[in-house]
Structure formats: C-alpha cells, structure tokens
Structure 1
C-alpha cells in the first residue's frame, strides 16, 4: 500500500513576488498524466514579470518523466513572461534535469573569423597529421603481428586453427562466385574493346597476347584485391569494431588473452592463403570470358586462342602477378584490423571506420601494385 506522503502532487502558493510551486511525493511515469493535468491548470499569467520559484526538496523520487514535467513547468512559466528559478534538488535530480535540458541543442556554429585559405591550409595540415598517425598505428600493429607470429612459431599449439579455417571459408570459398563472375565479365569487356581497336590494324589475333599478359600480371590480382578489400576487409573492421563497442576486446585483455593473437592472426592467415587462390581463379575466369568473346566477336577459335596464349605467356608472367597477392592480403588485413581497433562507442564511428577501411585498403593496394610494376620493370621482368 502506498504511503500518503509519497503520492505525487503539486502545491502552488501566490506571493507578491510571484508564485512558489512545490512538487510533492513521487514524480514518476505512473503519475505522469495526473501531474500534467495539474500543470495545465496553473495560471502563470498572474506571475508575468515576476518570479516562479520551484522547490524540489519535497520530491521523494523522480524519474525521466518527472524531470520532463519540471521542464514543462519551466517552459510554461517562461512563455508567460515570468522568471523561473529552482532550488532544493538532490544531486541525482539536478543531473537528470541538466541532461534533459541539453537535449536538442544545436552544436555551436563554426568560427567565421578564419578566412578561406587559412581554413584550407588547416584542413590540409590536419589531413597530413592524420596520415602520419595512421602510418604510425599501422607500423605499430605490424610490429605486434610480427611479435605474435614469432611467439606462435615457438608455441604452435596456441595458434587458433579452427578460427582460421572458418575465416578461410568466408574469405575464400564464399567469395569465389562473385570474384569469378566479375572477372569473367571484365575479361570479356577487355577482349571486346581490344578486338574493336585491333581490327583497324588487322591485328585481331594479338588480343590474346594483350589479354593474357594484362590479366596474369595485373588485372587478376588487382581486381581480386579490390573485391576482397570491399567484401572481407569491411567485414573484419565491422566485426572487430563491434567487439570494441561492446568492450569484448577489453574482456579478452582482462582474461589475459592477446586480441591480436585471438582476432587478427586468424584473419591475416586466412587472407594470405585465400588471396593467391582467388587471384588464380579470377585470372582463369577473365581468360575464359575473353576467350569466349574472342571466339564470338573476333572469330578466334578456342584452339587458336589456347595455342596463341601458350606462345605469348610464360611461367614467369604468371608468377609476376601471383607473387603480389600475399603482400596485398597482408595490407588489407592490417588496415582492416587497425581500423576496427579505432572504433569508438557509437554506430557512427563504426560506419566511418568501415568506410575508411575500404577506401584506405583499395588506395594502398593500387599504390602497391604500381610499386611492384616499377620494381619488375627495373629488374627487366
């Protein structure tokens, strides 16, 4: 049975200086409708130009609904032209009302004192600093991975084989259909456009050389890396970021487990194994698509296509492309895991880091492909 003193009520007293409003009892959601009605019948017009004071000392309990009703009291008094004052609130009540008072406020407008060029230079400087911080974090994460790799080589029974196989299935096996399909279509498009141009010079047969070298050296592994970065890299960032938001990574550290060993290593190993295999499948699918178009559109029979491909290519051409795959896999894994570790406690941060992971991975993969191309050119390969 509820004690009479705890029944929510509202007492209003009129003085020459204005009104004194005293909430009584428990201002909770259960009494919300009744208290709202009592607030609505108060005539604040008599306090116009005066003071409406509210004494919160008599409130025995207050929840969010009660604090919201206090805010409505304040709004009604101020709309009638009265000055609102409150006192007697307990610390918990004051914090609750302060939090409600902050809701819906617009962020402060950006400073307009700086000119356009100054702002542009500041943005560029901030971007350079952020790039430096990213490089520093990436190198630190790479060092931690190397240390974990050395530790696992000495204690191989600590390696999480089951987790690695699970990630290998997701990164490799489940990616085969989409990578094969896109590579098939790209190979067909490259062959069609090449035949269209080479016909003008009577050199249609050279489309086989062009397609084979381009696919095996550059296109197969680059397409695969871009698709893996968008598909698996983003998934890794989202998974690790979600664990960071739910404090699961902190829980791993509390249990004495290394998050890099538990989370990053199985993903990195799965990527390093899957990337060369996916690159090979992508190259074969692109050659199949190009060969089909060459047969239909360029009148190059499959036997002729294969014979010309055999004459134009060597094992070295294949290895030049496939050797880049593990390095790209490591880059994608490092960036994805690093961005996941940077996630803070909001969904907005998770989305931003996932997007950043994909963009950075694709950019660095393309830069790395260019560096490999210059290296192989300098070596005469």
Structure 2
C-alpha cells in the first residue's frame, strides 16, 4: 500500500530507504565515487529559475509530443535500469503494467531481470530496448533481433559505461545480486572475461580489450531498421561522430552520476549538445528529474523529452505497480501545473525565455 503521505517523488525516495535492505538500497541509489555528479544533477535543476508570463492564453492545452512518428502523451519516458526484481517480485512486469496504464513509454534494460519478450507481451505502450555492446558482434546482433521480433520501437545504446564506475557505496554495503535475480536476457552468452591482476591492470589489459568504438555504432545502425539512439553523450564534439554513424536520437546522460564522478550535471550539458545537433535529431535528457518543473526546464533548453530512472525503482519498491503508476501520474500532473503557471500550455512554447537569466 502506498503510504498516505506520499505526494511527491521525494516521498517515495524517503520511504524506499526506510524499507529496503541497505545493500540493495546502496546499489539502486549508489553514486560513483564521492557522489558529486549525482548530487549536482538535482542541484543544477534547482539553480534554474522559471520566469512566468501573466494573463497568457491558456486555451487548447496539451503536453503531447510526436517522437519518431508516434504520439507521446507526455514528454516523459522510463529510463533503462537493471534488475527491477531486486525491489519487487514482479520486477519489470509491474513496471511495464504501470507504464501502460499511464501511457508512458518504457526503455527496457539489457540487464532486466525479466526477459524482454515477457515484458513486451505485458505491454500496451511503446517499448524501447537499451543495448550494451557485447564483446562479439554476433551476440550484440542476437539481442537486436530479439528486440525487433518482440516489437520494440527503438534501440538505446549506452555509451558511458565501457567499464563500471567506482561504486564505493555498493562496496561498503557488500552488495551482491540475490538468488533468483539476474540479467536473464544475457543467459547463454559467455560471461565477460575476469580481470587477471597478475598481468597488470585488469582495466587496461582486460576490460578495455573489447571496448566498442564509433565503428561499432556505425555497424549497428546498418544492421537494423529501428531508430538507434545513443545514451550517455555529454561532449558536443561527439555529436558529429554520432550523427555520421547514423543515429536517430541522442540522450544527454551521465548515467545518473553512477559511472564517472565530477562530470557535468546533465541539464548543464544539455544546451551545448542541442546546439551541436542543430535540429538534426531529437535530443532527450535524464538525470536528477524529480519534479514537473524540471521537465519544463529541460524542454525549454531544447530537450524533446526526459527520461526518469531511479524514482521508478523507489516507487516500485514502496508501492509496486500502483506506486509506479502513481509516481508517473504525479510527474504528469506537476508538468501540467508548471506549464499552466508559466503561461505555456503547449510544449512548443517552452523556449529559453521561460528561464530567468
């Protein structure tokens, strides 16, 4: 049951930490290293101020957005996150049920704890599939073909996790995946090679051996008719390389501050990426979004839509499927309120002048 004092996403986070095993909470909420970037993802939104217009025409309101030829009821998508069964026995099946009820598109992780096919069978909302390049191209392509056959609408390739970040909170808590929770979509694929410290650095000598490059992204875009988005791009100099490879969209992301610490907050990095893209493809953003006002700010700075990850796991742990549906509805309602109170009741009117400089 959802606690009666749960009226905002921050309340789900508070209840999450009070209820969930500390080791699991350290995995879900843990940041890279000292957590500077994770904290700044939130602080950067708070630093931005909205500047409303008075007595605006508020007729014909709509938060609808067209994205890749499909109507998105609200510019909010569920970001990919691993192992939903860590916090609820139904895992991603509960999440996708809530997404369907709230007309929210969902991005399913390669490391989901339910198969991508099972999730697709439960869905009545569009699904995207988040893809990690596998060491061998045939294994990457096998995942792509499974997503295509299951009816996924796009691929989201994560760029910013060539190696795992330094997750000190997880290490201190001694986090290990419990029995019955695993990355089931990778069953049958060979495990990643273990590092051998006897031969020197396990990072440089082993983990980077099969690290993907822009050539791999170019190859992937040529292997599928699905739109390919890249997630984890922060530097505007990488935009031409991504566009040359054939990507259909870019997601400005710092992995929720979970890989490399002290990189910029995503809302701070967004404008330069939008400028470099120059309208060629849609740009989305994730990281630190907790309020409808955050969504207004992201759209005003050029994002087509936002993605929300960690709060979904908070809500799933606290309230199951109804919790996730409630959390998404809170965001949708807050977005509508923020749009009305700034005098901008259509997404296309959310431009930089809604922010005070």
TM-score by length of 2: 0.22
Q: Tell which structure's C-alpha radius of gyration is larger.
A: 1
TM-score by length of 1: 0.21
More helix by percentage = 1
Kindly indicate whether structure 1 or structure 2 has the higher relative contact order, using CA contacts under 8 Å at least 6 residues apart: 2
